[in-house]
């Protein structure tokens, strides 16, 4: 039987390679667009169902670095794509999901090969070390720069469908405040795509796990509230609950029936952004014999609600989920590769056309705050604006002069410990929807702001702007284009933050530093109560300050 399977795979790959004469390119391939809760081909209006696989070596969940401690963008490896694309096509794939995009690399070769075989791409915007995370949630100029650079790199390829602004960023009730930052990222990336005049079919969504927060988070990301353009364009569901062979009650017992009933009224497309349960979790050979019996349900009775799914994963790279193993330049398919290809070849999902479909679903209500859901629907975190941050920092009398990020945490803790009020500008409180005017800036600019507040509160004595050599007095400079920015932030640092324009890079140059890797300062735990204290305390109360 396995010999027969190998012959079938070889024949399919030969057919794929022979058919390239009529192939599309990434410039001519029909775009995929969203209308209502479905994906459609933009050229003829026929419905598009996702038959995908995660295509990423050296990947680990929750933003962790893989075992090789090195990012690998598979779309920069033309040779690897020539090795794998025939197997992807023979498998029946029309989508791959790539987790780690290198915005400085060239992707033309792989994207051309994928387009030639009618394969589209979903790309994640974050990478390990530069993403929104539940432990220290934020949405700042460093993350904005990373996310927009990934969009810049991939936007020209018409076989890119869209982007994930996050993947399983939170999964417990006490982490749900993180949702506000992800939704702010969705808002800003949608705005960025529009502002840069990239094609309107590019979309931004989120991939959530199957946990106790799922229903609230799905509602939160799709609800309309008062924030313009902040709702997701699609919802990805990472679900591994259907394990083993199909049984009489599997559709119900696996939770697939519950998922179908919950999402049938959802206003945007839903698909499985990860699926493919391993029935044997002991590392045995059974891990490579997944029957993929859930495929019949996904592309059968669920296909009027779910737009298909993305199997985890193509490569066996230290995980038990890989469909193939690489041996040098050769690909060795596992038995579950064959199982999946057979299952996908059998399906006939329900279809409609764009012209014959009238969207009727409306956005859900935003979840109320509770012990189980901690993120306010409005306002969301401010738009990261590097130009504003640079303008404000240049206008200060006392500035930070070191790039040593390890020093920052100690000084954050010291200044905020002397007087919490000084740190109101950098407070972030998603539960109450309060964000200081400098909360979106990188640590150096944030520290410069509060150091300057400390300095002013000490009657501008020289020793109040030292901090063991981390700061120094300088002549403030207010660029003409900065006046409105500085005025918006105002004395308290809690003013309105305007949206960035263009690529969002500061027109006023300022030395940048790494935005991660320093100790977590006290100010992130302050929240609204301490801000209220600030409003009650006069800046003149700093007479008892102890100077470093």
Which sequence positions are flagged as catalytic? Answer: 168, 274
Q: Which helix (H) or strand (E) holds 41?
A: strand 38-41
Intra-chain end-to-end CA distance of the chain, in Å = 77
Other CB atoms within a 10 A radius of the CB of residue 358 amount to 8
- Residue 304 phi/psi, 5-degree rounding, is -80, -10
Q: Phi/psi of residue 29, each to 5°?
A: -60, 140
Q: How many CA atoms lie within 13 A of 211 on its CB side?
A: 16
Q: What is the phi/psi pair of residue 166, to 5°?
A: -175, 155
**Phi, psi (5° rounding) for residue 223?**
-70, 155
Paired tokens of 364: 């859900």
Taking the C-alpha atoms of residue 33 and residue 203, their distance in angstroms, rounded to an integer, is: 8
Per-residue CA distances from 420 to 377, 417, 494, 520 (Å):
26, 6, 14, 16
Instruction: Say if residues 264 and 221 touch (Cβ distance below 8 Å).
Output: no
Backbone phi, psi, residue 129, to 5°: 90, -15
Helix, strand, coil % (nearest 5) of the chain?
35, 15, 50
Query: Which two structure tokens, joined as six digits, stand for 36?
Result: 């209502």
Q: Maximum distance among all alpha carbons in the chain?
A: 85
From the CB of residue 459, how many other CB atoms can be counted at a distance below 10 Å? Answer: 11
Distance CA 171, CA 209 (A): 7
List of residues 6+ apart from 453 with CB closer than 8 A: 415, 422, 425, 493, 539
Alpha carbon distance 411, 416 (integer Å): 8
Residues 6+ apart with CB under 8 A from 481: 391, 507, 508
For residue 141, which phi and psi values (nearest 5 degrees)?
-65, -30
Alpha carbon distance 490, 509 (integer Å): 21
Using alpha carbons, select from 237, 310, 221, 311 the residue that is nearest to residue 270.
237
């Amino acid at each position: 039987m396995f010999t027969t399977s190998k012959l079938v795979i070889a024949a399919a790959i030969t057919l794929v390679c022979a058919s390239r004469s009529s192939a599309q390119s990434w410039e001519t391939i029909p775009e995929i667009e969203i209308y209502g809760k479905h994906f459609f081909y933009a050229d003829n209006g026929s419905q598009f169902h996702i038959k995908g696989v995660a295509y990423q070596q050296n990947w680990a969940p929750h933003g962790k670095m893989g075992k090789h401690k090195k990012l690998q963008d598979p779309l920069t490896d033309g040779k690897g794509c020539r090795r794998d694309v025939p197997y992807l096509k023979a498998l029946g794939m029309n989508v791959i999901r790539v987790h780690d995009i290198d915005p400085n690399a060239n992707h033309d070769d792989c994207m051309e090969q994928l387009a030639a075989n009618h394969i589209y791409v979903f790309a994640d915007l974050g990478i390990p070390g530069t993403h929104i995370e539940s432990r220290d949630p934020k949405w700042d100029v460093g993350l904005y720069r990373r996310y927009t650079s990934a969009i810049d790199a991939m936007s020209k390829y018409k076989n890119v469908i869209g982007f994930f602004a996050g993947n399983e960023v939170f999964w417990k009730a006490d982490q749900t405040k993180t949702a506000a930052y992800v939704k702010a990222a969705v808002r800003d990336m949608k705005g960025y795509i529009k502002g840069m005049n990239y094609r309107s079919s590019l979309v931004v969504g989120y991939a959530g796990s199957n946990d106790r927060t799922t229903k609230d988070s799905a509602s939160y990301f799709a609800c309309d509230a008062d924030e313009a353009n902040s709702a997701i364009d699609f919802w990805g569901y990472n679900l591994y609950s259907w394990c083993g062979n199909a049984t009489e009650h599997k559709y119900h017992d696996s939770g697939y029936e519950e998922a179908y009933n919950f999402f049938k009224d959802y206003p945007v497309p839903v698909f499985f952004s990860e699926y493919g349960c391993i029935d044997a979790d002991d590392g045995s050979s059974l891990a490579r014999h997944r029957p993929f019996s859930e495929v019949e349900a996904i592309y059968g009775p669920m296909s009027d609600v779910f737009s298909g799914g993305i199997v985890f994963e193509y490569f066996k790279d230290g995980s038990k989920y890989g469909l193939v193993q690489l041996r040098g330049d050769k690909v060795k398919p596992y038995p579950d590769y064959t199982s999946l290809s057979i299952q996908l070849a059998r399906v006939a999902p329900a279809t409609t056309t764009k012209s014959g479909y009238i969207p009727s679903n409306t956005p859900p209500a935003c979840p109320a705050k509770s012990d189980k859901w901690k993120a306010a629907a409005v306002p969301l975190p401010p738009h990261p604006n590097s130009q504003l941050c640079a303008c404000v920092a240049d206008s200060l009398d006392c500035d930070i002069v070191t790039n040593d990020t390890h020093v920052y945490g100690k000084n954050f803790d010291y200044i905020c410990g002397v007087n919490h009020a000084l740190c109101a500008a950098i407070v972030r409180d998603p539960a109450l929807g309060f964000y200081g005017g400098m909360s979106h800036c990188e640590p150096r600019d944030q520290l410069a702001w509060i150091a300057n507040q400390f300095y002013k509160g000490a009657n501008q004595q020289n020793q109040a702007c030292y901090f063991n050599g981390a700061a120094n007095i300088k002549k403030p400079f207010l660029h003409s284009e900065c006046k409105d920015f500085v005025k918006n932030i105002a004395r308290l640092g809690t003013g309105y933050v305007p949206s960035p324009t263009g690529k969002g890079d500061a027109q006023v140059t300022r030395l940048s530093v790494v935005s991660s890797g320093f100790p977590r300062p006290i100010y992130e735990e302050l929240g609204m109560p301490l801000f209220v204290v600030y409003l009650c305390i006069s800046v003149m109360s700093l007479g008892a300050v102890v100077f470093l």
